[in-house]
Amino acid sequence: MEEILFGIGISALAGALATVAGAAEDTESDIGSQGDPNSQVQLAPQMGYVHRIFNKAVSGEPPAYGLWVALAAGVAWALMAIQFNAILALVIGSAVAVFVQGVYATTAYLGRTASLAKFEQPVYIDILKSVTSVTMAHAFVAIFATVTMCFLMIEALGHPFPLPLMGIVWGIALGAAGSATGNPFYGKERQYQKYPFGAGLPISASGDIVRYAEAGQRSSLDNGWFTSKGAGPASGICFGLIVFFELWRTILFEPFAAGWGAVIAGVVLIIIFMVIDRFVETWARKTYGPYTEEAAPEEEAAA
Amino acid sequence: MSALGGGSSGGEGINPTASLIALVIVLIAVAVVFLVYPAATVPLIGVIIGGVLISFGVHFVPVGGAPAAMGQAPGIATGVAMLAAGGGLAGLFGGAWAAEFGIAISLAAGAIGGGLLMAITCLMVNVVYVFAMGIPAASGKVYKDPITGDVFPPYKSQGTEGHGLPFISYVGGVLGGLFGGMGGTLIYYELLQVYEEALPSFLGATTEGLTILAVSLAGIFAVGMFLVAAVLTAYNITGTIEGPHDPKFKRWPRAVIGSSAASAVCGLFAILLVVI
């Protein structure tokens, strides 16, 4: 019993760390513009819209975070092997990984932006100085929280994977969850804030991103401020739920039915999430209604 | 026609010569393993099946790429291989944890781990679309949802190909996670059996000291082979796919044939690493 309680406590702690990691990961990728919406940041100067948005999407978020978290985990693992204190090892590992992330962000911004020289897009050195350090700070939070979560899974819950391998697995999963959940909010709601709320962006408007703020030109730091109110927490909840339920169902239900208990619990959880999704989908259809009336004659008759 | 003079889409036909070459590669790989280390023949076949499962599963995952991030196309706003890897590796985490219970539970745990990640991710994608962006789900490829019967054209905003994740895409995402998680776990499990048996005689040490090495090798090869199969399939899909109702879904046999050859070669090297 005590063992199960301890396991559930560790699951909750890992879930909380994952939530922080997911929120920080998405905010980092939005400030640095690393997700799919960066296609618009790259496209804008080609359409004549010169801007001051950061641009570092030379890699997708999942492989990038797979690298950084695995790097942090690898360094921490090596330090622990020579009897370093675990917390200190995790901090040093994350710091080394963040240094690599900083080098990546700098070279990516310079390379991607310099490639737009023929469209008269300047490389702003002040952006490099002000934004890179902010993405590094967010990346540190995401990487440290994830690698600590991996450490807990191995040391406290007894997963057989070594720390660096665990880092790759959960780093890629972190990037996948963060980019999937957070990208639409940054892409549609922020980059195209001037277009009407409640509709997708017409394909013909591609490249016409918002470039001006209340005073002066929009900075990528403003994008972090905006997305940390929506996409960041949503990504955090997404990754936190994934980690928590993955651990919780295994720890609590694996002893039942010779191991099948965890599988059955997983199936039940998937069905519950499916029902919630269907509810959200039908709620949106009822509440927002169809865009075009002629294609929905029953709505017209009711009016 | 594209600017390069080729077809605008990847096509759906199967090239008989290429398929034959793939089959020969698979047979050669199996024959080599059978001659060098017969005990690893069945695990190699398991690895090939794992690659096939991953490749088939990736076709189910609704991926909208960059257009989905602006609400211009339905699906999840990230890359095909990336999302499938996220789901599949979460499955591998669960499957490896349950490996001590035997192959059946390990595979089931791997499948459920991948499916659960996709179920939560797809739900949160719809939550963001609906509650943060005010956009209902609509497919651009079909008139109505094959499962729920919801009609899509009135709910598709002007100038877009659709947006969000209709229920059929949600189910596709979960199925993709299930297949991916199961495939990745199968590769891990089969390689682990080979390594646990071959490493002690190969390195001349006890099994206990080599368990961590066997787990690490099997794990990293499983991750690598997962990415090989997923990226290969992403090339077959060419860009975005909405799920099982998308016409591109019919291309799966070609990716499955390609992935079986790629998995056979990768599996051959993974096994030869410890037996030669």
Which value does ipTM take for this structure? 0.93
Residue B200, pLDDT above cutoff 90: no
Nearest beta carbon to residue A291 from set B68, B157, B171? B157
The residue behind tokens 């993709």 is B176
Are B133 and A198 contacting, i.e. CB atoms less than 8 angstroms apart?
A: yes
Whole-angstrom distance, CA of residue B232 vs CA of residue B6: 20
Whole-angstrom distance, CA of residue A72 vs CA of residue A64: 12
Residue B22 in any domain: the answer is no
Residues of A in contact with B134 (CB under 8 A): 197-199, 288
CA atoms within 13 A on the CB side of B138: 30
Mean of pLDDT values over B88-109:
88
Rounded alpha-carbon distances, angstroms, from residue A53 to A1, A213, B150: 53, 12, 39
Domain of B77?
A: 39-275
Whole-angstrom distance, CA of residue A93 vs CA of residue A69: 9
Whole-angstrom distance, CA of residue B80 vs CA of residue A162: 27
B124: tokens are 């949160």
Put simply, the answer to whether A184 touches B71 (Cβ < 8 Å) is: yes
pLDDT of residue B65: 84
Query: Mind giving me the DSSP string for chain B?
Result: --TTSS-SS------HHHHHHHHHHHHHHHHHHHHH-GGGHHHHHHHHHHHHHHHHHHTTS-B-HHHHHTTSSSSBSS-HHHHHHHHHHHHHHHHHHTGGG-HHHHHHHHHHHHHHHHHHHHHHHHHIIIIIT----B-SS-SB-TTT--B-GGGSPTTSS-BS--HHHHHHHHHHHHHHHHHHHHHHHHHHHHHHHHHHHHHTS-HHHHHHHHHHHHHHHHHHHHHHHHHHHHHHH-S-B-STTSGGGGGHHHHHHHHHHHHHHHHHHHHHHHH-
Query: From the candidates B58, B78, B89, B179, which should be mutated to test the interface with A, based on the most A CB atoms within 10 A?
Result: B78
Q: How far off is chain B from A303, nearest CA to CA, in Å?
A: 16
Residue A17, pLDDT above cutoff 90: yes
Residue B217 in any domain: the answer is yes
Whole-angstrom distance, CA of residue B134 vs CA of residue B128: 8
Mean of pLDDT values over B117-141:
92
Whole-angstrom distance, CA of residue B95 vs CA of residue B97: 5
pLDDT of residue A46: 92
pLDDT of residue B71: 87
Residue B23 in any domain: the answer is no
Instruction: Confirm or reject contact between A245 and chain B (CB < 8 A).
Output: yes
Query: Where residue A214 falls among pLDDT bands split at 50, 70, 90?
Result: confident
Rounded alpha-carbon distances, angstroms, from residue B76 to A8, A249, B204: 31, 26, 49
Nearest beta carbon to residue A184 from set B108, B129, B211? B129
- Name the residue among B128, B117, B150 with its Cα closest to residue B69: B128
pLDDT of residue A255: 83
B60: tokens are 């189910």
Query: Where residue B98 falls among pLDDT bands split at 50, 70, 90?
Result: confident
Are A130 and A32 contacting, i.e. CB atoms less than 8 angstroms apart?
A: no
Residues of A in contact with B117 (CB under 8 A): 173, 176-177, 242, 246
The number of angstroms, rounded, from the C-alpha of A45 to the middle of its chain's C-alpha atoms is: 26
Instruction: Give the tens place of pLDDT for each residue, A122-176.
Output: 999 999 999 999 999 999 999 999 999 999 999 999 898 999 999 999 999 999 9
Whole-angstrom distance, CA of residue A30 vs CA of residue A190: 10
Residue B25 in any domain: the answer is no
Query: From the candidates A242, A254, A269, A288, which should be mutated to test the interface with B, based on the most B CB atoms within 10 A?
Result: A242
Put simply, the answer to whether B223 touches A165 (Cβ < 8 Å) is: yes
pLDDT of residue B96: 87
- Name the residue among B148, B70, B68 with its Cα closest to residue A285: B148
Q: How far off is chain A from B246, nearest CA to CA, in Å?
A: 20
B188: tokens are 């891990």
Instruction: Give just the sign of the alpha carbon dihedral A51, A53, A57, A62.
Output: negative
pLDDT of residue A256: 84
Put simply, the answer to whether A187 touches B69 (Cβ < 8 Å) is: yes
Cβ burial of A3 (10 Å; 0-12, 13-18, 19+) is exposed
Whole-angstrom distance, CA of residue B81 vs CA of residue A217: 36
pLDDT of residue B1: 34
Domain ranges of chain A: 2-253
Instruction: Give the tens place of pLDDT for each residue, A62-108.
Output: 999 999 999 999 999 999 999 999 999 999 999 999 999 999 999 99
B47: tokens are 């690895």
Whole-angstrom distance, CA of residue B86 vs CA of residue B72: 24
Instruction: Give the tens place of pLDDT for each residue, B21-71.
Output: 999 999 999 999 999 988 889 999 999 999 999 999 999 999 888 889 888
Show the CA angle centred on residue A166, arms to residues A238 and A230, nearest 5°. Answer: 20
For chain A, the C-alpha Rg in angstroms (whole number) is 22
Query: Mind giving me the DSSP string for chain A?
Result: -HHHHHHHHHHHHHHHHHHHHHHHHHHHHHHTT-STTHHHHHHGGGGT---------SS-HHHHHHHHHHHHHHHHHHHHHTT--HHHHHHHHHHHHHHHHHHHHHHHHHHHHHTTGGGTPPP-HHHHHHHHHHHHHHHHHHHHHHHHHHHHHHHTT--SS-HHHHHHHHHHHHHHHHHHHHHHIIIIIIITTTSPTTSPPPGGGTT----B-SSSB--HHHHHHHHTTTHHHHHHHHHHHHHHHHHHHHHHHTTGGGGHHHHHHHHHHHHHHHHHHHHHHHHHHHHH--S-STT-HHHHHH-
Residues of A in contact with B92 (CB under 8 A): 169
Q: Which of A35-49, A64-78, B98-112, B208-222 is least confident? A: B208-222
Q: Which of A264-273, B108-117, B207-216 is least confident? A: B207-216
pLDDT of residue B12: 63
* Nearest residue on chain B to A274, alpha-carbon basis: B119
Mean of pLDDT values over B134-157:
90
Residues of B in contact with A73 (CB under 8 A): none
Q: How far off is chain B from A163, nearest CA to CA, in Å?
A: 10
Q: How far off is chain B from A165, nearest CA to CA, in Å?
A: 7
- Name the residue among A268, A126, A278 with its Cα closest to residue B169: A278
The number of angstroms, rounded, from the C-alpha of B252 to the middle of its chain's C-alpha atoms is: 11
Nearby residues of A57 by Cβ (< 8 Å), 6 or more positions away = A33, A34, A35, A36, A38, A39, A41, A42, A108, A112
Residue A300, pLDDT above cutoff 90: no
pLDDT of residue B170: 94
Whole-angstrom distance, CA of residue A299 vs CA of residue A303: 6
Are B123 and B257 contacting, i.e. CB atoms less than 8 angstroms apart?
A: no
Per-window interface: A 95-124 vs B, CB < 8 A: none
pLDDT of residue A301: 44
- Average of per-residue pLDDT values in chain A: 91
Instruction: Give the tens place of pLDDT for each residue, B228-275.
Output: 999 899 888 888 888 898 888 888 899 999 999 999 999 999 999 888
Query: From the candidates B70, B82, B131, B156, which should be mutated to test the interface with A, based on the most A CB atoms within 10 A?
Result: B70
Instruction: Confirm or reject contact between A268 and chain B (CB < 8 A).
Output: no
Whole-angstrom distance, CA of residue A71 vs CA of residue A97: 6
Q: How far off is chain B from A87, nearest CA to CA, in Å?
A: 23
Nearest beta carbon to residue A242 from set B120, B135, B156? B120
Residue B73 in any domain: the answer is yes
Residue A12, pLDDT above cutoff 80: yes
Query: How many domains are there within chain B?
Result: 1
Beta-bridged to residue B241, according to DSSP, are B63
Are B124 and A237 contacting, i.e. CB atoms less than 8 angstroms apart?
A: yes
Are B145 and A285 contacting, i.e. CB atoms less than 8 angstroms apart?
A: no
- Average of per-residue pLDDT values in chain B: 87
pLDDT of residue A294: 57
- Read off the pTM: 0.93
Instruction: Confirm or reject contact between A194 and chain B (CB < 8 A).
Output: no
